[in-house]
C-alpha cells in the first residue's frame, strides 16, 4: 500500500481525521461495483467518487429519460437519450480526475454477473427490482464479496450490509419481495438511502465502525424516523447453512 500523495492529502483533508491515512489508502486501493445507474446508483457512485474509492465499475443499460431527473443526480436535461453509464463516468471523472471509472453498458443477468464482480471488493445494490438483487446476492455469496443492499419506495427506504459467512443472505432477509413495477420515488429518499449505503461501504473497506450487518435500517422520511431491526437466517437456506452463518 503506497502512501497518499500531497494532492490526495489536500483533497481529503477534512475526512482523513475520521478515516486516518490508512483508511483513506484502503479506499483508494478498493474497487466498488455500483449495480445500476438510476436513483440509488447515481447517488452511490457520486458519493463513492467524493469519498475516494479508487475504482468504480458502474453497470446499467438504460438511457437518460426526463422522468429520471427528479432523483438521478448525475444527469441533466441535456443528457436526454444518452447512455447513463457514459454520462455518469464523465461526471464522476470531472469530480475526481484520479478516479478509475469503468462504465459498463450491460444488463445484470446470471450470465453477465461473473465478469462484473471480478476484481471487486464491495458491491453496492442500486437496482430497482429483486430479480436483479438476488443475482447480486448469489454472486456476493459465491465470490465472498460484501453486498450493501438498498431499496426505496416513496418516503421510505432500507439498508443492510450482507457479508458472506457472517450474515443472512438477501434471500433470507427478503424472502417475499414486493411485486415488480414502477414505484413513486423522491430524490431526497434516494439521497438519504444512497448516502447510508456508501457509509456502509466505507466501513466495510476501512474496517471502521460497525456495519449494518445482521441488521436492517428502515428509514421513514415522512415521519423523520429511522428504526434498526435484526435480520435472521432462514433455517432452510442452503447458502447460509453451507457457510456456517449463525441464525
* 247 found inside a domain: no
pLDDT at residue 49 tops 90: yes
Whether 238 maps to a domain, the answer reads yes
- Annotate 74-101 with DSSP letters as a single string: T--GGGTTSBHHHHHHHHHHHH-TT-EE
Could you tell me if residue 157 is inside a domain?
Answer: yes
Alpha-carbon distance of 247 to 231, in angstroms, equals: 9
Residue 1 in any domain: the answer is: no
Average pLDDT for residues 235-241, to the nearest whole number? Answer: 81
Query: How much of the chain exceeds pLDDT 90, in percent?
Result: 89
Report the pLDDT averaged over residues 62-91: 97
Count structural domains, the chain: 1
pLDDT above 80 for 237: yes
Average pLDDT, the chain: 95
The CATH number assigned to the domain holding 65 equals 3.40.50.720
Residue 245 — pLDDT band, cuts 50, 70, 90? low
Q: What pLDDT sits at residue 242?
A: 61
pLDDT, tens digit, 9 for 90 and up, residues 94-144: 999 989 999 999 999 999 999 999 999 999 999 999 999 999 999 999 999
- The whole-number pLDDT of residue 243 equals 57
- Write the pLDDT tens digit of every residue in 191-214: 999 999 999 999 999 999 999 999
Sheet holding 55-60, edge to edge: 100-105, 55-60, 31-35, 122-125, 147-153, 156-162, 215-220, 225-230
pLDDT band, very low/low/confident/very high, at 236 (cuts 50, 70, 90): confident
Q: CA 212, 232, 130, 161: dihedral to nearest 10 degrees?
A: 20
d(CA 93, CA 101): 7
29, exposed or middle or buried, with CB in 10 Å at 0-12, 13-18, 19+?
middle
**CA-CA distance, 155 to 138, in Å (whole number)?**
28
Three cell numbers at 16?
482523513
Give the three cell numbers for residue 49: 467518487
SS3 27: helix
The number of beta carbons lying within 10 Å of the beta carbon of residue 154 is 12
pLDDT single digits (tens) 163-198: 999 999 999 999 988 888 788 999 999 999 999 999
Q: For residue 245, give Cα distances in angstroms to 79, 123, 139, 169, 173.
A: 45, 20, 17, 9, 13
pLDDT at position 247: 47
User: What is the span of the domain harbouring residue 202?
Assistant: 6-242
Amino acid at each position: 500500500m503506497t502512501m497518499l500523495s500531497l494532492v490526495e492529502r489536500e483533497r481529503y483533508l477534512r475526512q482523513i481525521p475520521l478515516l486516518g491515512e490508512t483508511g483513506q489508502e484502503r479506499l483508494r486501493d478498493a474497487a466498488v461495483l455500483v449495480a445500476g445507474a438510476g436513483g440509488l446508483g447515481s447517488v452511490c457512485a457520486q458519493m463513492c467518487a467524493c469519498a475516494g474509492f479508487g475504482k468504480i465499475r458502474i453497470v446499467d443499460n438504460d438511457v437518460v429519460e426526463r422522468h429520471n431527473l427528479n432523483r438521478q443526480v448525475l444527469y441533466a436535461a441535456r443528457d436526454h437519450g444518452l447512455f447513463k453509464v457514459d454520462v455518469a463516468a464523465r461526471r464522476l471523472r470531472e469530480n475526481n480526475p484520479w478516479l478509475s471509472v469503468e462504465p459498463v453498458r450491460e444488463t445484470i443477468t446470471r450470465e453477465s454477473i461473473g465478469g462484473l464482480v471480478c476484481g471487486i471488493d464491495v458491491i453496492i445494490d442500486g437496482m430497482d427490482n429483486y430479480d436483479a438483487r438476488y443475482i447480486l446476492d448469489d454472486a456476493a455469496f459465491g465470490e465472498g464479496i460484501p453486498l450493501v443492499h438498498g431499496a426505496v419506495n416513496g418516503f421510505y427506504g432500507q439498508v443492510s450490509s450482507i457479508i458472506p459467512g457472517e450474515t443472512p443472505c438477501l434471500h433470507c432477509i427478503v424472502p417475499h419481495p414486493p411485486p415488480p413495477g414502477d414505484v413513486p420515488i423522491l430524490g431526497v429518499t434516494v439521497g438519504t438511502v444512497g448516502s447510508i449505503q456508501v457509509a456502509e461501504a466505507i466501513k466495510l473497506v476501512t474496517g471502521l465502525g460497525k456495519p449494518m450487518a445482521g441488521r436492517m435500517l428502515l428509514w421513514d422520511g415522512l415521519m423523520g424516523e429511522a428504526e434498526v431491526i435484526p435480520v435472521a437466517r432462514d433455517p432452510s437456506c442452503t447458502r447460509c447453512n453451507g457457510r456456517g452463518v449463525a441464525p
